[in-house]
Structure 1
Amino acid sequence: MARTVQSSKFKVQGKPQTSKPGQAKTMAELMASSKSSFVSPKKGEILQGSITKLTSSEILVDIGSKSPAVVLEKDKRILKSLLDSLKVEDKVDVQVLNPESEYGNTVVSLRRFNEGKMWEKLEDLQKSKEKITAVIDASTKGGFLVTTADGASGFLPNSQVSLLPQNENLAGKAIKVSVIELSRPLRKIIFSQKAAIDNVEFEKSTKNYKRGDKVVVKINSIAPFGIFAVLNESLEGFVHLSEISWDQLSEVPKDYTVGNNIEAIVLGIEKVAKRVNLSIKRLKANPYEEKLKEFGVDKKVKGTITGVSSSRLTLNLGEGIEGIIKKEKIPPTVTFSEGQLIDATVLEVDRSGKVILSPVLKEKPLGYR
């Protein structure tokens, strides 16, 4: 090193100290540089990170802050879902709950991330029609509230229920279901037990049943429109209200109660609803059969309207004989009401013993046939 001595003093000269680009020159700059290399989380902020630890007691996420962020999750079902679906080094999006706890860690939540993954999985399940396990939380008038292992809560309507006994506490019972309807904006999930029964399984269960077979079944549930029954462990039967008795019924008689065994006859296999249609009344001869012979095609009859629906009119033709006028036979400009006595023409007597009619109109609307 070159140096020059002047008088009694000397001065050391050497090469000037220069800092490399990006290198701090002073302690203040060094501290500022150190601070800027860490993320400063803000409450409510969504940050991306990666899982560094994943156990039932602790989940840590590297979000670029001074220390790993701690995931806060008290719901056991959501925690289980996270443990089942994630692994160390997985990329995740977290929401900041507390920028810095008393222990110096950022506290974050994975609920939003988990919910997003859950909906993606539900969409895949709806497309694949795959069966999953759900647990019944509670029963309602219209069906059951159920929750999957991933924490997805939805509704199982009575119309999609199969082989679940009525009037029993089913809370906690695990069942197989399929996803049939989703609405993420409305947070609506509709499940089905019937859709979870695949065609091969259904055909195997029904191969020994044919029309006319007599069977003994156990009443599983009773609805305003009929009786649901169990044929075997995986097969449901249904007796429509009109197939309980040859007499006209407005409700299921009190004689039929859940848990009772009844005898019925097989009418057919309903593949879409995945059930066996049954009849109780056909175990006996139709007491009105002789009377029905009087209702020949084109015969003019009078009947009192007993029911008006969007699809038909129901008429009482006397002596227990029921008449039906289908919607397509009613002109859009013509209206009928219950209790009204009308004239009609016989079209046919169907297999169920109902007389199919066409109304006699005083003036036929243009285009009516």
Structure 2
Amino acid sequence: MENLKNIAPIEDFNWDAYESGDAVTNVSKEELEKAYDSTLNKVNDREVVDGTVIAMNKREVVVNIGYKSDGIIPLSEFRYNPDLKVGDTVEVYIENQEDKKGQLILSHKKARATRSWDRVNAALENEEIIKGYIKCRTKGGMIVVFIDLGGVDGLIHITDLSWGRVSDPREVVSLDQKLNVVILDFDDEKKRIALGLKQLTPHPWDSLDPNLKVGDHVKGKVVVMADYGAFIEIAPGVEGLIHVSEMSWSQHLRSAQDFMKVGDEIEAVILTLDREERKMSLGIKQLKADPWETIEEKYPVGSKHTAKVRNFTNFGVFVEIEEGVDGLIHISDLSWTKKIKHPSEFTQIGADIEVQVLEIDKENRRLSLGHKQLEENPWDVFETVFTVGSIHEGTIIEMLDKGAVVALPYGVEGFATPKHLVKEDGSQAQLDEKLEFKVIEFNKDAKRIILSHSRIFEDAAKAEEKAEKKATKKSSKKEEAPMIQNQAASTTLGDIDALAALKEQLEGKK
């Protein structure tokens, strides 16, 4: 060994006693151990040193590092070097100088990894590009066994494989493929290296067409979908967002998935472009004309159209005539005759309904529509049928606190208060009962008909009573007539005598 030249001889060694087998020396055991230890290399745990292969078999490699015992390393750690032989110098990592069995524990793999960190640091500081091959795929990216870094592993995160979006690393790389990569970062404690592949090429935004501007049309592929919008890749690594509000002129709240899906190839218009922030917003509704720009021409007041029911409120129905053109049918404009409490009684969401434009609100992008206006107002006819005093057969279809709703002929409804629902025998009319009703009020503008059942027999009784009084009065007049006539006759005769006497006097004077 090389260290033997540094060993000093023991000056007072008793060679005679040694020859007789009774070696006695004045040197203590501690001094002897010290002298022995000084002949060996000084090593520390977690240190990398060079050793020599002194033996090997199919499973193990025995390495001498000049220590008091040799170390054994699994042959599998030298798989990368099939030409390993006795006498070769190898680097080893000292895990433990002495285990429970007094064995020196070494590792060649850890030594290579540890030494590689010096190479990694140098490559990082010098921004050096190094070569490697893909060891395996992971959910986050690829593990790469660097050829010129001594076998240390590094991770290329999936976002650092390409400037564009990558859903599966196999889209960019494959196993055993040799790559040039850039060292982005490393963790000395965890012995991890972060690598990048996309950093070998310029950022796509930097090479984007300098003439591209707001208003230009671009084509791209949908790469990510969200409820609020879709991200469109117009070039690898260059994306724009189409917000859901820019997908349709319609004001209805809808999901972006209603318009497109991942993988769709679409055309869009650039709405905003910020090269410094590398942001772009796009729109597809701008590919069509805004229908409200010419709303008065396409949907003038009085025009008739077919619309689709979109939503209900207590006061009406929201419909869409075409994408972006919405309107409201007030509940009072659904029917001339039916008293509708909620629009769901008349139609349903998704159904088609005929409408007429009543009013245009361009500022709020809303049309006032009517459905009943498509038919003639039947109240013009009802006015001649349900005249005040006329009697019609009706059925009580609803009982309320304030009275009853009565179904009349021709689909019209009337209303009767409780006092007008009393029958001739004093009982109250009930639900579903069919009776005769007299019209006591008709209001065409308010579409209101007030009815009474009790008035029928009350008016009949009054008429009968009036007739009786009239008959009684007539008979009493007949009895008084002769006397009156006699009086009239006597008066007449007397008057005649007086006139005759007057006449004689006048004649005598003559």
Question: TM-score per shorter chain, which class?
Answer: 0.3 to 0.5
Question: Which structure has more strand as a fraction of its residues?
Answer: 1
Question: Which structure has more helix as a fraction of its residues?
Answer: 2
Q: Which has the larger radius of gyration?
A: 2
TM-score by length of 1: 0.45
Structure number with greater CO (CA < 8 Å, separation at least 6) is 1
